[in-house]
């Protein structure tokens, strides 16, 4: 059973999953880097992304791969709205109030989804992306492969946007020192809203991609969000490349761990996190 092909197969699947985790984690990381708030409603926003793809397919027969920009736009708006309705009011609040506000928002969104769409598990029937590629003894699912490729492309585009454009510089400046950025004429309010918009838009992309090969239901976001928190902390809060690499590591640990003991695959992930922060309390690439 444990021959070379089997292990290679596991590693490739794990890498594909890891790159999707990376897209989920990068939104969280961006928001934290900007204003040091952990978005505990992240999983629920991903769930909304998946549901937007699902409903566009079910109601208007738009395949997730085509509705992807639309899902992204919807989530961008949700992110911006979240900032103005909730987050803006807790910017100066104590750490605990911030945790609870986003956590409460998560509960609200999850059960709102359950109220409107019932807790059923749904699946997109016959999406355009289906089937698998065969390389010798190794099979790669086409939806997973596409998801992973688009995730990596989105990640690179986002990274270029932040490090190479004027707006990106402004985002970086705001995350570096809000007051100094304000003095330079950067509207920090706009930057925060943009940060939340982009952070949520990543989830729109991820949601549309995941909905191709995964069930859609109101509680779907929780394991993804949990992995994202661990990825962001493992990579070091605020480090975008750090969270990318950490997400890949987590995908690998989960995949290989699932090979050894399927029931404990998340346990392995959490143990790796604890081991790493025990040695490096600031995470792998943390600022402090």
Q: How many residues form the binding site for other proteins (CB under 8 A)?
A: 45
**Residue (10 or 282) nearer to other proteins, CB:** 282
Nearer to other proteins, 1 or 263 (CB): 263
CB-based contacts of 19, cutoff 8 Å, min separation 6: 147, 148, 151, 152, 155, 247, 248, 251
Tokens of 238: 């605020």
Task: Candidates 15-23, 175-183, 208-216, 229-237: pick the segment binding other proteins (CB under 8 A).
Answer: 229-237
Does residue 201 interact with other proteins by CB under 8 A?
A: no
Site for other proteins in 81-110 (CB under 8 A): 86, 89-90, 93-101, 103-110
Q: How far is the CB of 137 from other proteins (least distance, A)?
A: 31
Among the listed residues 36, 244, 272, 222, the one whose alpha carbon sits nearest the alpha carbon of residue 114: 222
Cα 62 from Cα 68, distance rounded (Å): 10
Which one, 7 or 112, has the nearer CB to other proteins? 112
Which range in 2-10, 19-27, 113-121, 196-204 contacts other proteins by CB under 8 A? 113-121
Least separation in angstroms between CB 281 and other proteins: 5
Only segment of 167-175, 178-186, 198-206, 223-231 that touches other proteins (CB under 8 A):
223-231
DSSP bridge pairs for 141: 132
> Applying CB under 8 A, does 161 fall inside the site for other proteins?
no
> How far is CA 191 from each of CA 11, 84, 181, 241, 250, rounded to the nearest angstrom?
38, 12, 10, 20, 30
Q: Name the residue nearer to other proteins (CB basis): 97 or 160.
A: 97
Q: What is the rounded distance in angstroms from the CA atom of residue 203 to the CA atom of residue 201?
A: 5
- Identify the residue among 6, 84, 112, 184 touching other proteins (CB under 8 A): 112
- Least distance in Å: CB of 277 to other proteins? 6
CB of 66 to other proteins, least distance (A): 32
Nearer to other proteins, 49 or 235 (CB): 235
How far is residue 131's CA from residue 140's CA, in Å, rounded to a whole number? 9
Radius of gyration (C-alpha) of the chain in whole angstroms: 19
- 4 lies in the site for other proteins, by CB under 8 A: no
Q: Which residues ranging from 233 to 262 are in contact with other proteins (CB under 8 A)?
A: 233, 237
Least separation in angstroms between CB 9 and other proteins: 25
Rule CB under 8 A: which of 15-74 touch other proteins? Answer: 32, 38
Q: Residues interacting with other proteins, by CB under 8 A?
A: 32, 38, 86, 89-90, 93-101, 103-112, 114-115, 119, 226, 229-230, 233, 237, 263-264, 266-267, 270-271, 273-274, 277-278, 281-283
């Amino acid at each position: 059973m444990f021959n070379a092909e089997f292990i290679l197969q596991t590693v490739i699947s794990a890498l594909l999953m890891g790159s999707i985790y990376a897209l989920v984690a990068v939104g969280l990381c961006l928001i934290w880097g900007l204003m040091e708030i952990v978005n505990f409603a992240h999983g629920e926003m991903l769930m909304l992304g998946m549901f937007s793809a699902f409903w566009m397919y079910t109601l208007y027969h738009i395949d997730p791969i085509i509705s992807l920009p639309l899902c992204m736009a919807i989530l961008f708006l949700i992110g911006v709205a979240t900032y103005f309705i909730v987050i803006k009011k807790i910017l100066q609040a104590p750490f605990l109030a911030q945790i609870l506000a986003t956590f409460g928002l998560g509960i609200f969104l999850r059960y709102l989804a359950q109220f409107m769409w019932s807790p059923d598990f749904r699946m997109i029937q016959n999406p355009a992306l289906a089937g698998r590629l065969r390389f010798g003894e190794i099979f790669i699912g086409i939806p997973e492969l596409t998801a992973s490729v688009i995730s990596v492309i989105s990640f690179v585009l986002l990274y270029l946007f932040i490090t190479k454009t004027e707006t990106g510089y402004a985002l970086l400046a705001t995350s570096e020192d809000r007051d100094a950025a304000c003095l330079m004429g950067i509207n920090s309010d706009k930057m925060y809203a943009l940060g939340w918009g982009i952070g949520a838009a990543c989830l729109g992309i991820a949601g549309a991609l995941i909905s191709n090969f995964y069930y859609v239901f109101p509680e779907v976001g929780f394991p993804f969000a949990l992995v994202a928190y661990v990825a962001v902390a493992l990579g070091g809060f605020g480090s975008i490349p750090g969270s990318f690499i950490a997400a890949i590591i987590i995908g690998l640990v989960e995949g290989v761990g699932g090979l050894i003991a399927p029931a404990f695959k998340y346990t392995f992930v959490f143990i790796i996190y604890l081991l790493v922060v025990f040695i490096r309390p600031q995470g792998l690439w943390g600022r402090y």
